[in-house]
Structure 1
């Protein structure tokens, strides 16, 4: 009864701690992609405003959601730059569902859950500004990684298309 009890050596990181670190790194990478996208959008809006074509209608320095929506409108079929920016408009349209995640990534509370078969789930809780209800979203780790990869590719595509539109407008 008085025999010494040996302490079980716990590894320095358990699965949860390691997964939480991966999730935070993933979150940082996604936020970085969104930051790059925001910079591309704002720079393009400033450039388009400088062309004089509908300059009064183009607002710069807007919150990111408004700027994203404005660029989608300007490059849409009936927008001021729709004739030259169909591909950019389509790319922004594909990004719209992922763009909803931006607020959750930057302002939401991230939790990691281990499900059946060691499948990890990321959940976000976020209360929009002025909102009364908390919005909850969940993704599997595989879905989260797919989203990050889509964002990285989309930023490259939007950067190239924005450059093409800027060049076309400068030459016009």
Structure 2
């Protein structure tokens, strides 16, 4: 695979993280295109045809990583898209895959993890299933993230829908946040 074939679109609103991850992929022979939101990514597709994309789930403003995945998949169904998030939930993982992502990774993930995700597109039927039942804490966490995703990660609106104070929700998110 030549460098021309290895064009990667990185949609990440954290500039420092985007630069670091971008440099790491460049050292591996990728041409990296940086975008902060869906509109920036769409504009880059006018002149470029990336075969790979890494999309942050939660982008600044009203920009959704899921909307970006959908837009990228509609642009090129063959593009390998990995969603990367610090706010992982089953609900958003399922939606990302339905919208066209090939993999969904929780932060912290590094370049090795992301490259492995690009290479592991097909599912594994022999995956070992856990015999553990889901805990109440996990169910609460999943419900919180479902509501957060429905409100485009607006904490005040999510807290209102969950029937809790905004500060309480913020504290729960800080305790559980995957960094």
TM normalised by structure 1 equals: 0.25
Higher helix share: 1
- Larger gyration radius, structure 1 or structure 2: 1
Which protein, 1 or 2, shows the higher relative CO under an 8 Å CA cutoff with sep ≥ 6? 1
